[in-house]
């Protein structure tokens, strides 16, 4: 038994574990069809940098089709999946996240959603799998992007600025968006040994403007509240979750804060999540929106483009504060 436990720990050695926290019931819920949504979105971004969207208009069959295709992909033999890796950053990856030594109990596919820029490995995934996979990804992204723009338009109205002041960044044909399918396999051995959960995706903030997350009914997502406490987000496979990203934090000059989050793998159930990351065009300046600045208000950040930020992000570790080098001290 001792030998066996040692083996299990050796096997998991580089991946950290963490105690679970209680499910949090206070996540703001925004009904996109509610005329009050615009003010509620602004409040949720100020208080949490995170909220849940219902009445989102994305059809169940688009979601179901893509979930089924994604599961089919993750069920392929390891050697088949690895033909679409290692990620560059696009493609299939397992356990390693990003280029700087971060690891987690996860396998994933990262895709660039801009067709001109789609990487060879991403194309491989789409080519080698039935055409239905490609269609499912494309149709899903189209619908989620539309919803993300609707959220950004409501947000802009809530902030009392031009309706398109934020959404145009995603609508622009040069917008730099990506899409991630994450699969967190169950991990019963570790649960039996220690009562802890393996970290699937370590703590981080998302660099983009907003991220739109859809998961199955398995818990695991944790967010950090403004008081520094971590809470577990109750899973809800009928809704979408929205994260404020670093770029939106800068555009609102810190009024909205990007939300720190992480995912713990479940010991028994596998977790599947699908995340659309809405980023601006590469040459776009990321700076506080003049229409949001009070008279005499100073920018908290020096000027930079989304390209500068991405470049610097890819030199960082997941948990690093990526906005640090851009802050005016």
Nearer to ligand GA4 by Cβ, of 197 and 247: the residue is 247
For ligand GA4, which stretch binds (CB under 6 A), given 10-18, 41-49, 74-82, 309-317?
A: 309-317
Q: Is 314 among the residues that bind ligand GA4 (CB under 6 A)?
A: yes
Q: Is 102 among the residues that bind ligand GA4 (CB under 6 A)?
A: yes
Give the single-character DSSP code of 34: S
Closest separation between CB of residue 93 and ligand GA4, Å? 8
* 263-282 binders of ligand GA4 (CB under 6 A): 277
Is 271 an active-site residue? yes
Q: Is 107 among the residues that bind ligand GA4 (CB under 6 A)?
A: no
Question: Which H/E stretch holds residue 142?
Answer: helix 131-158
Nearer to ligand GA4 by Cβ, of 63 and 210: the residue is 210
For ligand GA4, which stretch binds (CB under 6 A), given 129-137, 203-211, 234-242, 298-306?
A: 203-211
Residue from 38, 56, 121, 204 that binds ligand GA4 (CB under 6 A)? 204
Residues in contact with ligand GA4, shown as a per-residue x/- string from 210 to 239 under the rule CB under 6 A: ------------------------------
Rounded Cα distance, 299 and 252, in Å? 10
DSSP-derived pairing of the beta strands 271-278 and 210-215: antiparallel
CA distance to 103, 193, 223, per residue, from 49 (Å): 25, 35, 10
Q: What values do phi and psi take at 301, rounded to 5?
A: -130, 145
Which are the contacts of 218, defined by CB distance < 8 A and separation ≥ 6?
Answer: 184, 235, 266, 269, 270, 271, 272
**CA geometry: angle at 45 spanning 219 and 271, to 5°?**
15
Choosing from 271, 302, 317, 322, the catalytic residue is 271
Which candidate, 181, 106, 115, places its Cα nearest to that of 142?
Answer: 115
Interface contacts to ligand GA4, rule CB under 6 A: 89, 97-98, 100, 102, 110, 178, 180, 204, 206-207, 277, 313-314, 316-318
């Amino acid at each position: 038994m001792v030998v066996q436990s040692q083996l299990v720990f050796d096997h998991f050695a580089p991946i950290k574990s963490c105690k679970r926290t209680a499910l949090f019931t206070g996540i703001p819920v925004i009904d996109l069809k509610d005329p009050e949504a615009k003010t509620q979105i602004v409040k949720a971004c100020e208080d949490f940098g995170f909220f849940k969207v219902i009445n989102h208009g994305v059809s169940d069959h688009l979601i179901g089709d893509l979930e089924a295709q994604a599961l089919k992909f993750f069920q392929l033999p390891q050697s088949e999946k690895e033909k679409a890796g290692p990620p560059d950053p696009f493609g299939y990856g397992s356990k390693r996240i990003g280029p700087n030594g971060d690891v987690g109990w996860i396998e994933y596919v990262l895709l660039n959603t801009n067709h001109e820029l789609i990487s060879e490995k991403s194309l491989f995934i789409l080519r080698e799998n039935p055409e239905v996979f490609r269609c499912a990804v494309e149709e899903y992204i189209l619908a989620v992007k539309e919803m993300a723009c609707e959220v950004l338009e409501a947000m802009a109205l809530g902030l009392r600025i031009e309706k398109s002041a934020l959404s145009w960044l995603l609508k622009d044909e040069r917008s730099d968006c990506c899409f991630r399918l994450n699969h967190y396999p169950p991990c019963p051995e570790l649960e039996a040994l220690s009562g802890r959960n393996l970290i699937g995706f370590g703590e981080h903030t998302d660099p983009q403007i907003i991220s739109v997350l859809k998961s199955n009914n398995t818990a695991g997502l944790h967010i950090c509240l403004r008081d520094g406490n971590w809470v577990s987000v109750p899973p809800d496979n009928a809704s979408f979750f929205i994260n404020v990203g670093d770029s939106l934090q800068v555009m609102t000059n810190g009024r909205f804060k990007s939300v720190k989050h992480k995912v713990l793998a479940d010991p028994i159930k596998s977790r599947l999540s699908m995340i659309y990351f809405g980023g601006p065009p590469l040459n776009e300046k990321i700076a506080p929106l003049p229409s949001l600045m009070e008279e005499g208000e100073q920018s908290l950040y020096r000027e930079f483009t989304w390209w500068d930020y991405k470049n610097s992000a890819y030199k960082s570790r997941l948990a690093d504060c990526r906005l640090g080098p851009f802050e005016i001290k």
